[in-house]
Structure 1
Amino acid sequence: MFKTLLGALGTNSTEVETELFTPGVQPGQPIQGVIRMRCRDRPVRINGVAVELITRAEREYDDGEQLLDTAFAQLPVFGPFELLPGQPLEGRFELLTPWETPITFYNGRHLPGTAVAVRTRVDVDGGFDAADTDPIGVGALPPQHVLLAAVESWGFALRHADVEVGRVDRIPHQLPFFQEIEFGPSPRLPGLNQLEVTFLADPHGMYVVLEADKRAMMFAPGRDVQDAIRVDFASFEQVDWVEVIGQRLHLLAR
């Protein structure tokens, strides 16, 4: 459906439509689509049209936190050009999804708290910048699916996921944010109040960061504990990940 770019050069005559051919992807896969533009009553000078991925990320401040639409993976599509009445234009695109893109689906379930969308940006001459946003599903990679299932097999119940602006200490990654997938406590490991899992993937593998809230004991205060595992995509099927995750969780719970 065409959407009017409200306020473009003081008129409502310019419209844009973005159609995604791939409504769902996995990290590292391309998103394909087409952008169509038209105007009704007078020519409009367009400096450029681009697509980008966005996600909603938390930024922490001293006095609280704020949710921000954070853009990543930008791609110019076409422009500059003059859009003329009765002469619509369209441009196809293929936007590669970064390996660290937050996932929004796992095991047929939406991960509450995380959303990813394709945003079309239109730079109109005169300083006006319009945007059209289309949500897209990002499914877990097979190794991510296996690791999350291994965590659930130890009794941790999936709660929600969020994206945080910042860096993970001592782990290389490219994007200015990271996703945390939160699980509630497990009766099998009562020493842990909750567990958060972060995936930081690249073309060859991924880091799996396990961060747990350790329960306070009689002579020890509660604290956060962390561990990280490197997973090789080429050999991950040869590993018993339920056993490996269990060993790491028991170490965190000590």
Structure 2
Amino acid sequence: MSFFKKSLERVGIGGVKIDAQLQNNQYTKGDTVHGEFHIKGAGTDTDINQLVIDLCTVAWYEHEDKMHQKKVVVDSYSFEGSHVKSGERLTIPFAFELPYTVPHSTSRSPVWITTRADIELAIDPRDEDYLVIKEPETSRLFLNAVRNLGFRLREVEVEAGNYLTERFYQKVLPMDQIPKYVQEFEWAVPSEFRGHIDEIEAVLYATEYSLHVLLTKDQRLRGLDKFFKSEDAYYELEFTLDELNQPDVVERELWSILQK
């Protein structure tokens, strides 16, 4: 398999070069990423205390009626460094597992890794390379079911979580693994639901064999004052891979919720 190569050169004292090579740049959530750090010593002996890979994405937030973006670290992976002699070449293998909470890659939710090294008395060397992260089969089957009902995927982006997403993730993850930022899917409604539903949104937690869904229905209600008002209704759904492989089962459950 060809290597997806990224180079990173230290610009501080000593000039150590670190080249992190990945076996691939395309992964599915939950995959194990394998690679190697290729280190070339400089003119003097150098101690690399630690090598760190940050898994990053972009989150969106609203401020003063405008949308802004910021870098978010999804997870970090630390690896033991080494003493590098002058001119020495070292190869250090590494591996880390992608969390199921990492967003899948879109133009508004890119995913990349930043490699950095802890070297005493030197500027922290780092570089970035983008990954293609795909949804597991469980997510893809659910997204197909929503599309089959006539809903058009309008937007996918990463946003700050809230108490609802925290409560949702508490059922499937330990507290220290609950993400502060979540990827949200948003659909425009087909004609038969217009006037009843403005849009639907979903946060997905997908593993290889199961899918948990936090579904938001932005519905329109007619009040006593005869004006339409919007109100969000929330539903938590759970599907096994076997259920997701039966599209009619998923579509019936979604349809029953949307008709309420």
For normalisation by structure 1, the TM-score amounts to 0.82
Confirm or deny that 1:170 pairs with 2:175: no
State yes or no: 1:186 paired with 2:194. Answer: no
Q: How many residues align?
A: 241
1:76 maps onto 2:78 in alignment? yes
Q: Deviation at 1:95?
A: 0.9
Matches within 5 A, 1:30-49: 30-49=32-51
Is 1:245 aligned to residue 254 of structure 2?
A: yes
Matches within 5 A, 1:1-254: 1-6=6-11, 8-9=12-13, 13-58=15-60, 66-79=68-81, 81-104=82-105, 111-126=106-121, 128-167=123-162, 168-171=165-168, 172=170, 173=173, 174-190=178-194, 191-201=196-206, 205-215=210-220, 217=222, 218-233=226-241, 235-238=243-246, 240-251=249-260
Residues 20-74 of structure 1 show CA distances to partners (whole Å, capped at 9, x for unaligned) of 1131121111111112122433333211112231111235668866523222332
Q: What are the superposed Cα offsets for residues 159-190 of structure 1, whole Å, 9 maximum, x if unpaired?
A: 22111222415312422221101222321311
Equivalent-residue separation in structure 2 for 1:149 and 1:156 (angstroms): 10
The TM-score normalised by the length of structure 2 is 0.81
Question: Structure 1 pair 90/188, CA: closer, same or farther in 2 (3 Å)?
Answer: farther
Q: Which amino acid aligns with 2:152?
A: A
The answer to whether the Cα contact below 8 Å between 2:139 and 2:206 also exists between their aligned partners in 1 is: no
Distance 1:5 1:182, change over 3 A: farther
Q: Tell me by how many angstroms 1:221 deviates.
A: 0.9
Any stretches of 5+ residues in structure 1 without a counterpart? 105-110
The one-letter amino acid of 2:185's match is: I
> Does the 8 Å contact 2:36/2:94 carry over to 1?
yes
Percent identical residues: 20
Flag structure 2 segments of 5+ consecutive residues without an equivalent.
1-5
SS at 1:2 equivalent: strand
RMSD: 2.6
- d(CA) in 1 for partners of 2:242 and 2:96? 25
Residue identity opposite 2:189 in structure 1: P
